[in-house]
Amino acid sequence: MDELPGDVAKIAQRAALHLPAGRDLQQAWHVIDLAPSGEIFPHVDNSDHLGEHIIGISCLSDAVMRFTPSPHPEHGCAALPDAQVDVWLPRRSLYVMAGECRLKWQHAVLRGTHSVPTDVTPAQWGDMMAKAGAQVTECPIQLPSGSGGEQQGRNTVCVTRNRRMSVILREQAKQRF
């Protein structure tokens, strides 16, 4: 991890602890820089070349990653043609993708503004931002109307994606001879 900038290397080393035993991250890493109008189109990663796990570190802007069933029969999702899962990626968050969500479902990073259901409450969001060292501004989480307080699992976050940068770390791919 010594090729990564100092703070990113520390985060990557901690994240790598969550990989299964015997798995290592590639020394290579890349940064994706998306303009507010940019997006990553739906795709399924190739684990033969990119390993089974990736770790993403979200920077600059919140984003929404959308998962939809792959249209390719070999991925085994044909029975779910209308399924869709939107995941909120707060800025300064870290995510690990592996298994079916990475290798069978398409994933995309959306542009624009989207409302996403979340289990996170406004108080939890404030705690997360404080732990990340962020200046807490207006909370993006909206409570259901008439709820009278925080209800976990029924809240919505309104995500407007601006310029987004992410650092992507990949597991070393298995050697094929």
Give the length of the chain.
177
- The SS3 call for residue 79 is coil
Residue 78: its pLDDT value, please? 61
- Each residue's pLDDT tens digit, 90-101: 888 888 888 887
Query: Does 73 lie in the same domain as 90?
Result: yes
Phi/psi for 25 (5° steps) reads -85, 150
Q: Give the model's confidence band at 1: pLDDT under 50 very low, under 70 low, under 90 confident, else very high.
A: very low
Q: How many domains does the chain have?
A: 2
- Each residue's pLDDT tens digit, 60-114: 888 999 988 887 766 666 666 678 888 889 888 888 888 887 777 889 999 998 8
Could you give the dihedral angle defined by the CA atoms of residues 159, 54, 163 and 157, in that order, rounded to the nearest 10 degrees? 10
Domain range holding 175?
1-112+161-177
Query: Does 22 lie in the same domain as 39?
Result: yes
Query: Does 63 lie in the same domain as 14?
Result: yes
Query: Does 89 lie in the same domain as 50?
Result: yes
CATH number for 104:
2.60.120.590
Query: Does 134 lie in the same domain as 62?
Result: no
Residue 177: its pLDDT value, please? 44
Longest Cα separation, the chain: 61
Beta strands in the chain (DSSP E): 25-34, 40-43, 54-59, 63-69, 85-89, 94-97, 105-109, 113-118, 141-142, 155-160, 164-171
Query: Does 153 lie in the same domain as 129?
Result: yes
Say how many CA atoms lie within 13 Å of 30 toward its Cβ. Answer: 7
Query: Does 172 lie in the same domain as 87?
Result: yes
pTM of the model: 0.78
Residue 4 CA to residue 28 CA, distance in Å, equals 9
Query: Does 144 lie in the same domain as 92?
Result: no
Tokens of 104: 């069978």
- Each residue's pLDDT tens digit, 9-43: 777 777 777 777 777 776 677 889 999 999 999 98
Query: Does 93 lie in the same domain as 18?
Result: yes
CB within 8 A of 67, min separation 6: which ones? 84, 85, 86, 87, 101, 105, 106, 107
Mean pLDDT, range 161-171, rounded to an integer:
86
Residue 76: its pLDDT value, please? 66
Q: Are 158 and 118 in contact (CB under 8 A)?
A: no
Query: Does 67 lie in the same domain as 143?
Result: no
Residue 37 CA to residue 40 CA, distance in Å, equals 11
Query: Does 133 lie in the same domain as 57?
Result: no
Residue 54: its pLDDT value, please? 83
Query: Does 89 lie in the same domain as 55?
Result: yes
